[in-house]
Structures are given as structure tokens and as C-alpha cells.
Amino acid sequence: MLLAIDVGNTNTTIGLFEGHNLKYHWFFSTDVNKTSDEIGILFISLFQHINEDIRSVKDVIICSVVPPVMNSLIGAVRKYMQRNPIIVGPGTKTGINIRYENPRDVGADKIVNAVSAVRLYGAPVIVVDFGTATTFCAINGNRDYLGGVICPGIMISAEALFEKASKLPRVEIANPLGVIGRNTVASIQSGLFYGYIGQVEYIVAKIKEEMKEDNIKVVATGGLARLIASQCRCVDEINTLLTLEGLREIYYLNAR
């Protein structure tokens, strides 16, 4: 058994692998205030719920973009699983060549997604991650991570509109089923939904122009991928578990 943990700014995704097969996965809100004991009790509850022995976990691998969580999370893994987790970071074998000006600046989740996308869909590939931020990562045919684009996520944009425009309400992110809104809520939903579709299609097109390669696949992941990317003509694949599958691949490259 391998436990893979992806800590994002908004949500934390946990996956339990048996060999190469993902048996279970869970999504939780990321909470920087949880203690190691609270996290440990959560682990125990999850394993009791699926009738598995927590001691059956051979190893743990963690990818995180939230440093304040790590002390408690690592402490929980060590205390409740008696395992010293692998942390994805500088020095981790990935099979990807990072061509960023400063490779240490690349978020661990972006590298994990790149590894997973290349493994599952081949290279060249563009990964669009609909998370707290919407990010685009470009990997060429030589498996070089070239860089990418970082935009405010759709939830951030919706919240900013609510906070800065006094008469506009907070709305649910949804497909309005038409561009022309007939009321304020529908108009905001239309602007968010179709605005992000347009953003994705334009940025992907510009990235492809700069990459100058043929047959570039576009893979979408993240919490809102199915809602937004399903309407983007440029997206070839949607895989909301891309990061967990990338963690599995990186684990086997670094297995102790």
C-alpha cells in the first residue's frame, strides 16, 4: 500500500494505492491549523471506514504547496503510521528536465502533474490545472518543462468581484447555459464561466504557437476541470486525479 497526499491551497487530496491501482481517494479542505494528532485521527478514521489496517501502508509520498501544513502532516505520518514520508521537492527524481530560470521556483504540484501527463498521454503536452490559481504548464517532446502561465483562479475572481463591487452578490460557479444573462446572478455566472473558457482557449493557442511542435495534447485537472474544461474545445483529456497518479510515478522513481 502507498498513501499519496497532495496538499493544495484550498483542498487536500489523499489517494491509497495498492501496487499501481488507485483503490480509494478522498478530498478534504486544507486547514493549516490542524495539529498532527487531529490529522492522525483523520487517517485512522479513513482506514477504519474502508476496513483496512493503517499498518498496511508501506510508504507515504507528499506533494505540498502549503508549507505551514507540513510540520503537522509529517508528524502525523510518523506518529500514526511509523513511516518517514517522501517529500517531493528539489533533488527528487522525476524524469522531467526543468528549464525554468530557477527550478526551485516551480511548484511541486506542477512537476508532479507534468510527470503524470507525460506518463499517461505522452509529450509534448500542456497541463491546465483549475485550482486556487489556474495554471498552464508546457512540456515539450524532449520532456523538458519549459514553464507556463499562472492566472487567478475562477473562485478568486468571483470572490474579488463580490468584495470590490458593492452591489454585486456572491454567486455559485455554474454553467449559465447561455452567454446573455437575464439577471445579475446569471450575468456574473456567464462572465466567469465563458470568460474562463475564452481565457483557456486563447492561452493554450499562444502556448502552442511558442512551442512550435506538432500533436500537442492538452490535459485538464483540478477541482473545476469538469465544469470548465469540458466546454473548452482545446482540451483533449480531463483527469481530476492527475496529481495522485503523478505521485505514484514519482514514488517508484524514488522508491527506497
Name the maximum alpha-carbon separation found in the chain.
Answer: 59
* 26 three-class SS: strand
Dig out the grid coordinates for 43 from the structure: 487517517
Print burial letters for 178-214: b (CB count within 10 Å at least 16), e (below 16): eeeeeeebbbbbbbbbbebbebbbebbeebbeebeee
Enumerate residues 6+ apart whose C-beta is below 8 A from 16: 1, 2, 3, 4, 22, 23, 24, 25, 50, 52, 57
Point out the residues that are catalytic: 109
Task: List C-alpha distances in Å: 214 to 11, 99, 124, 202, 208.
Answer: 35, 20, 8, 18, 9
Other Cβ atoms less than 10 A from the Cβ of 139: the count is 28
The CA-CA-CA angle for residues 97, 99, 102, to 5°, reads: 115
* 210 three-class SS: helix
Q: How far apart are CA 101 and CA 33, in angstroms?
A: 34
Contact 248, 2 (CB under 8 A): yes
Q: Cell 516551480 belongs to which residue? A: 106
Enumerate residues 6+ apart whose C-beta is below 8 A from 93: 250, 253, 254
Beta bridge partners of 21: 18
